[in-house]
């Protein structure tokens, strides 16, 4: 080992010690990324956009628990460059075809002392931003990388505003967004979105979080942020052997919100589909034995209030069949919910039903009705109990015709119970640490083997792995509609316009909308108009969309119910027509299976008029627009009657026409635009 290190050092001496590589530019030339080493040999990068500094000199490197840092004493050894221009097709998604056009630079740094160690940094520069990752070669001088901390910095060149949720806090990702100066952020989860004074929009996140710990962004001084890896029960936050790559550190860059919204950089940085044909998963709308538990009308646990009974489930299956929904989620069907289930994750069985839930009868009935049961695995964060049951649990569902399973990890942050890596017993882990990154992928892989799709709640964040594993169809990782039942506070009206430009940039969310009664637990008001509930099916993208309200409430709103049954959950294209981070969003999506378009809008606590041109329609074609909008006097923060004021109307429209629709406080609208047969 010593000898090869010496030869390496000698070989390096013979090379010119470059201080800086030539910049790599985005295809349109607007973004430039530089790499270099400073006077102490600290590797760094900088980013300019339109010639103006965006990310000032920012260090790259690592601390280890058992080896000297990879921080100083580096020289630039070599570089490779490449360009790519291609297109690929999503099996399902917010658009069918994804263009991937980027320039790439990989620079290899070598640190001569105390032992020669190499580190490659690969950057891909797109018109919409950049992604870079570290690549560790197999090297005798670092056979195992026990990473104590990743030292990647992001030094903003100028201040602006930021929308973010705190990292490292007990409720995982389920927080309301904060809007502060960039210079006032503490430690944030990603995506964190920024708007600089000149209007430049940025969003920091990561792509392809595989066998590594999730990255938080901690502001260490002024406008300088540093990666902070989610903790681990072990000494090192990440342990990897041999050659490996880190996730990509990504920065979306755009002139305005539309450029952030229509940006496929994260997906492009993930590896292509490894599952092949996943046509067994169909994008869909579903109902559930779910909202009634959140309202405390029934219970997950057994006894007289048990929600997941055979009779109640059959009633829901009949309702789904009658109204055109593909699935029925049933929670609380399996043994283990009694007592304080938050604390008793060790008691869950994923194969044994409560005696009043006849899973065979339920799935037989569903099959006859052309509906599927949607499975549920709540773990209460106890993966030590779940993992040994996983294969049998998925096999049982597969045998019964269930092909979509919702998982859950209700536990405080840091409260995941995992099997001890060595010996007996358990250890505590974080929801987004390396162990959970491994766990989630394992679940997705086992599920794929059984042709089952996964929708994870209290999950790790989305980093675009749906490209590689298209059966990972949705997840939560934000405050969903459950908070409208019992949240303190309920989701305020700016929550969704904030999520559109933050959390939802990461990927699909199982937001579980569709509460037409607009009432939470105990009849408490939900801040929303009725029309806004319809807007969610267009504004919040997911290939699975719940219609959450109780069947007896849904039938009171036949037009709205029929809209939710008809609205697609799979799109050929998606565009932001108008919007401002945290304030409002107007989104148009084209159905993947027809020539119809849908437009949805939501606003915050300000009433607003959405005006948008129908430029995206085909020339020469007449369409009928069916508009569901806030009616006169509608008010999402007002009395129940005002919240329910809705107008349904139709108009003929064509390309070049404009629509102007009033959105009430906490209001919104949904429009379907269908071609008229000619």
309/333 Cα distance (integer angstroms): 7
User: Closest separation between CB of residue 432 and ligand NOJ, Å?
Assistant: 16
Which tokens in the block code for residue 55?
């990310």
Interface ranges with ligand NOJ (CB under 6 A): 290, 331, 378, 408, 410, 457, 476, 482
Shortest CB 406 distance to ligand NOJ, Å = 7
34 binds, among Ca ion, ligand NOJ, none (CB under 5 to 8 A by kind): none
408 binds, among Ca ion, ligand NOJ, none (CB under 5 to 8 A by kind): ligand NOJ
Residues 123, 196: contact at Cβ < 8 Å? no
CB of 215 closer than 8 Å to CB of 208? no
Of 248 and 290, nearer to ligand NOJ (C-beta) is 290
CB 512 within 8 A of CB 477: no
Q: Which is nearer to ligand NOJ, 508 or 601 (CB)?
A: 508
Query: What does the alpha-carbon distance between residue 461 and residue 147 come to, in Å, rounded to a whole number?
Result: 21
Q: Which one of Ca ion, ligand NOJ, none is in contact with 196 (Cβ closer than 5 to 8 A by kind)?
A: none
Rounded-to-integer distance, Cα 93 and Cα 510, Å: 14
Cβ proximity to ligand NOJ, 267 vs 330, nearer residue: 330
CA atoms 589, 461, 438, 120: torsion sign: positive
For residue 127, the partner it binds in ligand NOJ, Ca ion, none, with Cβ less than 5 to 8 A by kind, is: none
27 C-beta neighbours (distance < 10 Å), count: 15
Q: Which H or E run includes 11?
A: helix 2-13
**Least CB distance from residue 293 to Ca ion, whole Å?**
13
Least distance (Å) between residue 323 CB and ligand NOJ: 21
289-328 positions binding Ca ion, by CB under 5 A: none
Residue 429, contacted partner among ligand NOJ, Ca ion, none, CB below 5-8 A by kind: none
- Rounded Cα distance, 284 and 93, in Å: 12
Is the Cβ–Cβ distance between 265 and 191 less than 8 Å? Answer: no
Please state, in angstroms and as integers, the Cα–Cα distance from residue 641 to each residue in 129, 517, 529, following that order.
46, 11, 10
Taking the least distance from each CB to Ca ion, the nearer of 435 and 457 is: 457
Q: Which of 206, 378, 476, 482 is catalytic?
A: 482
Non-local (6+) Cβ contacts of 641 within 8 A are none
- Span 381-420, contacts to Ca ion by CB under 5 A: none
- Nearest 5 degrees, angle CA 619-CA 621-CA 623? 125
Q: Which is nearer to ligand NOJ, 120 or 385 (CB)?
A: 385
CB 187 within 8 A of CB 218: yes
| CA–CA dist 248, 134 (Å, integer) | 8
Closer Cβ to ligand NOJ, 332 or 551, answer by number: 332
Interface residues for Ca ion in 449-488 (CB under 5 A)?
A: 457
Residues in Cβ contact with 172 at an 8 Å cutoff, skipping those fewer than 6 apart: 413, 431, 432, 458, 477
CB of residue 476 to ligand NOJ, shortest distance in Å:
5
Torsion of CA 254, 256, 257, 258, to 10 degrees: -80
Helices (H), 328-374: 359-369
Question: Taking the complex as a whole, how short is the minimal distance between the CB of residue 476 and Ca ion, in angstroms?
Answer: 5
Instruction: Compare residues 432 and 591 and give the one whose CB is closer to Ca ion.
Output: 432
Does residue 32 contact residue 52 with C-beta atoms inside 8 Å? no
Q: Is 482 a catalytic residue?
A: yes
Residue 196 CB neighbours (<10 A): 17
Q: Could you tell me the smallest distance in angstroms from the CB atom of residue 355 to ligand NOJ?
A: 21
Indicate the residue among 206 and 484 with the shorter CB distance to ligand NOJ.
484
Query: Two tokens at 344?
Result: 């008793």
* 399 SS3 class: helix
SS3 204: strand
Give the DSSP letter of residue 252: E
**Which does residue 345 bind out of ligand NOJ, Ca ion, none, counting CB within 5 to 8 angstroms by kind?**
none
Decide which of ligand NOJ, Ca ion, none touches 348; Cβ closer than 5 to 8 Å per partner kind.
none
Compare residues 124 and 457 and give the one whose CB is closer to Ca ion. Answer: 457
| Interface size with Ca ion, residues (CB under 5 A) | 1
Instruction: Write down the least CB distance from residue 457 to ligand NOJ, Å.
Output: 4
Tokens found for residue 567: 């609205």
Pick between residue 25 and residue 410 the one whose CB is nearest to ligand NOJ.
410
Residue 378 contacts which entry, ligand NOJ, Ca ion, none (Cβ below 5-8 A, type-dependent): ligand NOJ
CB of residue 407 to ligand NOJ, shortest distance in Å? 9
Going by their DSSP bridges, the two strands 327-330 and 284-289 should be labelled as parallel
Q: Which is nearer to ligand NOJ, 348 or 563 (CB)?
A: 348
Instruction: Measure the CA angle with vertex 105, ends 101 and 107; round to 5°.
Output: 160
C-beta of residue 139 within 8 angstroms of C-beta of residue 153:
no
**Of Ca ion, ligand NOJ, none, which one sits near residue 484, judging by CB under 5 to 8 A according to partner kind?**
none
Q: What is the DSSP letter of 66?
A: S
231 binds, among ligand NOJ, Ca ion, none (CB under 5 to 8 A by kind): none
Closest by alpha carbon to 119, among 164, 80, 70?
70
Q: How far apart are CB 546 and ligand NOJ at their closest, in Å?
A: 9
Task: Say how far apart CA 20 and CA 60 lie, in whole Å.
Answer: 14
Find the binding residues for Ca ion in span 4-23 (CB under 5 A).
Answer: none
Angle at 228 between CA 437 and CA 461, to 5 degrees: 35
Q: CB of residue 482 vs Ca ion: minimum separation in angstroms?
A: 6
Token pair for 254 = 């755009």
Q: Which residues bind Ca ion (CB under 5 A)?
A: 457
Catalytic residues: 482
């Amino acid at each position: 080992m010593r000898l090869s290190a010496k030869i390496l050092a000698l070989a390096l001496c013979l090379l010119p010690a470059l201080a800086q590589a030539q910049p790599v530019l985005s295809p349109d030339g607007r973004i430039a990324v530089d790499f270099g080493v400073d006077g102490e040999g600290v590797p760094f990068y900088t980013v300019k956009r339109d010639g103006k500094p965006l990310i000032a000199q920012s260090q790259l490197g690592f601390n280890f628990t058992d080896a000297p840092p990879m921080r100083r004493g580096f020289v630039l050894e070599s570089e490779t460059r490449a360009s790519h221009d291609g297109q690929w097709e999503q099996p399902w998604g917010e658009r069918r075809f994804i263009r991937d056009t980027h320039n790439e630079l990989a620079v290899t740094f070598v640190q001569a002392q105390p032992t020669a160690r190499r580190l490659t940094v690969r950057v891909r520069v797109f018109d919409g931003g950049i992604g870079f990752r570290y690549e560790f070669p197999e090297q005798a001088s670092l056979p195992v990388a026990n990473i104590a901390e990743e030292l990647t910095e992001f030094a903003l060149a100028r201040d602006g505003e930021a929308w973010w949720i705190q990292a490292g806090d007990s409720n995982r990702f389920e927080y309301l967004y904060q809007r502060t100066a960039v210079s006032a952020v503490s430690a944030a989860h990603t995506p964190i979105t920024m708007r600089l004074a000149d209007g430049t929009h940025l969003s920091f996140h990561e792509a392809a979080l595989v066998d590594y710990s999730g990255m938080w962004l901690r502001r260490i001084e002024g406008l300088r942020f540093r990666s902070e890896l989610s903790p681990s029960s072990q000494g090192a936050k990440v342990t990897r052997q041999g050659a490996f790559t880190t996730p990509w550190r990504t920065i979306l860059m755009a002139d305005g919100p539309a450029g952030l919204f229509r940006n496929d950089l994260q997906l492009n940085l993930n590896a292509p589909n490894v599952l092949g044909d996943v046509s067994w998963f169909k994008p869909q709308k579903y109902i559930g034995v779910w909202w009634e538990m959140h309202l405390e009308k029934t219970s997950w646990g057994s006894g007289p209030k048990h929600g997941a009974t055979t009779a109640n489930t059959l009633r829901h299956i009949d309702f789904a069949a009658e109204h055109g929904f593909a699935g029925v989620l049933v929670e609380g069907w399996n043994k283990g919910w009694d007592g304080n289930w938050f604390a008793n994750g060790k008691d869950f069985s994923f194969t044994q039903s409560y005696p009043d839930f006849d899973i065979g009868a339920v799935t037989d009935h569903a099959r006859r009705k052309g509906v599927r049961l949607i499975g549920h695995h709540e773990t209460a964060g106890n993966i030590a109990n779940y993992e040994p049951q996983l294969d049998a649990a998925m096999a049982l569902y597969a045998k019964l015709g269930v092909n979509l399973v919702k998982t859950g990890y209700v536990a405080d942050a840091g409260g995941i119970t995992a099997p001890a890596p060595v010996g007996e017993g358990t250890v505590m882990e974080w929801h987004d640490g390396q162990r959970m990154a491994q766990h989630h992928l394992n679940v997705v892989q086992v599920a794929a083997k059984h042709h089952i799709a996964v929708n994870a709640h209290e999950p790790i964040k989305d980093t675009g792995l749906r490209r590689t594993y298209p059966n990972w169809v949705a997840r939560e990782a934000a405050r969903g509609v459950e908070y409208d039942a019992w949240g303190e506070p309920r989701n305020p009206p700016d929550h969704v316009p904030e999520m559109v430009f933050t959390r939802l940039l990461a990927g699909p969310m199982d937001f579980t909308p569709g509460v037409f009664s607009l009432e939470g637990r105990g009849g408490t008001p939900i801040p929303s108009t009725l029309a806004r509930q319809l807007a969610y099916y267009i504004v919040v993208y997911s290939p699975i969309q719940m219609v959450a309200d109780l069947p007896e409430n849904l039938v009171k709103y036949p037009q709205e119910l029929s809209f939710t049954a008809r609205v697609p959950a799979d799109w050929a294209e998606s565009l932001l027509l108008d919007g401002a981070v945290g304030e409002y969003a107007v989104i148009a999506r084209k159905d993947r299976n027809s020539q119809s378009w849908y437009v949805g809008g939501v606003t915050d606590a300000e009433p607003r008029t959405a005006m948008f041109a129908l430029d995206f329609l085909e020339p020469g074609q007449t369409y009928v627009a069916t508009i569901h909008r806030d009616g006169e006097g509608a008010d999402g923060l007002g009395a129940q009657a005002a919240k329910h004021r809705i107008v349904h109307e139709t108009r003929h429209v064509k390309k070049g026409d404009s629509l102007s629709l009033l959105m009430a406080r906490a209001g919104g609208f949904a429009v379907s635009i269908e071609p008229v047969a000619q």
